[in-house]
């Protein structure tokens, strides 16, 4: 049913999602969360774990839905309460603060917009850290920078709980289909404990060692993606300007060495100036900004990503923040290039 591939110290566990869903039974799941300062809790006792989910945006909602559909005992919270309602209708419980979610659950996942919101929800006034403690775990699946992840890790660990960072590769559709890729780092014990839940929401998971490595991996991946999308945008517009059919360009690319699913998925709608949001442009620009900080921290030049970041900033300034990141092409259209040069 599963295969284990060892790549040096990185271990990739692959489980076909359907196989996982058919074999996962939370009623027979034993919770083993321990660290140096705590004894294993409920070890050997078949306890249905209570799972919390904080942050029900584009990604958090389908991830939480998949947990509910798999039979997980789920408690949700979101800053805008109305986004909890569809999940409550599916059977989720609700608590009015991250603190109360963490206090009432064994494991708490968080899927927040950016570093500031991740810190606020984890460490703020009624944040999860106030309700968490020994025998519990906190899994932050948001895309944040290394320092933010380490800050949250330190505060969560100081309560006696365990911490795992687990940002995801894959967008809205993979989230809906339970096909995300988890880039995890932190407490290995917690990683092992949450693996069945990651396998409900995703198709693969990487354990990358110390806290910060998951955040860094995610930022490198999204740095590449942001630059690819900017370059693709230039190609689409250039092809059109020289009298080529951009639809044919998309087809040519799809058959060659630079083929990527992203181009085939986003190209046709970009040609029609249509950007249905899967990954908001503001989040792609946030990731490029954070990747630039990461590169700065080790004096690594990333001029292509720096140039791409400027384009996303232009697109944001013209109102495309909440559209899909493929709307970066708008920043290259003459109307905006002209106004930027004035
Ligand atoms: N969309 C995508 O394709 C992917 C996104 N990601 C990453 O996942 C994370 C979530 O992305 P996505 O779901 O698309 O984003 P959304 O913008 O759809 O959702 C953001 C979530 O964060 C909450 N939030 C924002 N600010 C605060 C705050 N100050 N306090 C409390 N909650 C807050 C929002 O609450 P509210 O509803 O009240 O606004 C919402 O639940 C981001 O880090 C993103 O970079 C990773 C992979 C793919
Ligand atoms: O962070 C967003 C990633 C989107 C994707 O991997 O398709």
Residue range 86-95, pLDDT digits in tens: 999 999 999 9
323 pLDDT exceeds 50? Answer: yes
Confidence tier at 48 by pLDDT (50, 70, 90): confident
**Residues in CB range of 275: below 8 A, 6 or more apart:** 269, 281, 320, 323, 324, 326, 327
Tokens of 48: 């249905």
What is the average pLDDT value for the chain, to the nearest integer?
89
Residue 6 CA, ligand 1 centroid: distance in Å: 32
Give the binding-site residues of ligand 2, using a 6 Å CB cut-off. Answer: 143, 169-171, 222, 279
State which of 141, 145, 170 you would mutate to test the pocket of ligand 2, scoring each by most atoms of that ligand within 8 A of its C-beta.
170
Total Cβ atoms within 10 A of residue 150? 18
| Domain limits, the chain | 49-210, 216-341
Q: Give residue-wise pLDDT tens across range 299-318.
A: 999 999 999 999 999 999 99
Cα atoms found within 13 Å of the Cα of residue 181, Cβ hemisphere only: 10
Residue 331 CA, ligand 1 centroid: distance in Å: 23
The answer to whether residues 169 and 221 touch, using CB atoms and an 8 Å cutoff, is yes
Identical fold at 49-210 and 216-341?
no
Taking phi first (over 0 means left), then psi (-120 to 50 degrees means alpha), and beta for anything else, what does residue 136 get? beta
Q: Give residue-wise pLDDT tens across range 146-169.
A: 999 999 999 999 999 999 999 999
Query: How many whole angstroms from its chain centre is CA 72?
Result: 20
CATH code of 49-210, in short, is 3.40.50.720
State which of 148, 224, 283 you would mutate to test the pocket of ligand 1, scoring each by most atoms of that ligand within 8 A of its C-beta.
283
d(CA 28, CA 38): 23
Residue 283 CA, ligand 1 centroid: distance in Å: 8
Q: Does ipTM come in above 0.95?
A: yes
Residues paired with 6 in a beta bridge: 11
Q: Give residue-wise pLDDT tens across range 234-258.
A: 999 999 999 999 999 999 999 999 9
CA 20 to each of CA 185, 195, 201, 335: distance values in angstroms, whole numbers, following the listed order? 22, 11, 10, 50
pLDDT at 338: 53
Residue numbers annotated as active site: 218
| CATH 3.40.50.300 applies to domain 216-341 | no
């Amino acid at each position: 049913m599963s295969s284990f591939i060892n790549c040096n110290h990185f271990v990739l566990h692959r489980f076909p999602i359907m196989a996982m869903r058919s074999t996962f039974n939370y009623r027979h799941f034993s919770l083993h969360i321990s660290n140096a300062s705590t004894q294993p809790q409920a070890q050997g006792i078949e306890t249905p774990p209570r799972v919390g989910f904080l942050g029900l945006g584009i990604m958090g909602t389908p991830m939480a839905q998949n947990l509910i559909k798999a039979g997980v005992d789920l408690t949700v919270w979101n800053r805008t309460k109305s986004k909890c309602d569809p999940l409550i209708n599916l059977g989720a419980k609700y608590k009015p603060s991250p603190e109360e979610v963490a206090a009432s659950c064994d494991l708490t996942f968080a899927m927040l917009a950016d570093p500031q919101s991740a810190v606020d929800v984890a460490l703020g006034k009624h944040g999860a850290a106030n309700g968490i403690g020994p025998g519990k775990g906190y899994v932050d699946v948001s895309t944040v920078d290394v320092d933010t992840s380490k800050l949250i890790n330190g505060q969560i660990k100081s309560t006696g709980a365990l911490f795992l960072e687990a940002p995801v590769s894959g967008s809205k559709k993979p989230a809906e289909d339970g096909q995300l890729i988890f880039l995890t780092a932190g407490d290995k014990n917690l990683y092992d404990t949450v693996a069945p839940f990651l396998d409900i929401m995703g198709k693969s998971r990487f354990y990358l060692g110390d806290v910060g490595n998951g955040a860094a991996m995610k930022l490198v991946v999204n740095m590449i993606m942001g630059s690819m999308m900017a370059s693709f945008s230039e190609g689409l517009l250039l092809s059109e300007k020289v009298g080529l059919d951009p639809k044919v360009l998309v087809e040519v690319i799809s058959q060659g060495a630079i083929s990527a699913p992203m181009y085939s998925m986003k190209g046709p709608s970009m040609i029609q100036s249509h950007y249905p949001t899967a990954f908001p442009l503001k989040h792609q620009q946030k990731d490029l900004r954070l990747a630039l900080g990461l590169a700065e921290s080790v004096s690594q030049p990333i001029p292509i990503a720096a140039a791409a970041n400027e384009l996303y900033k232009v697109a944001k300034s013209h109102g495309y923040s909440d559209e899909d990141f493929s709307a970066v092409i708008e920043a290259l259209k003459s109307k905006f290039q002209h106004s930027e040069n004035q």
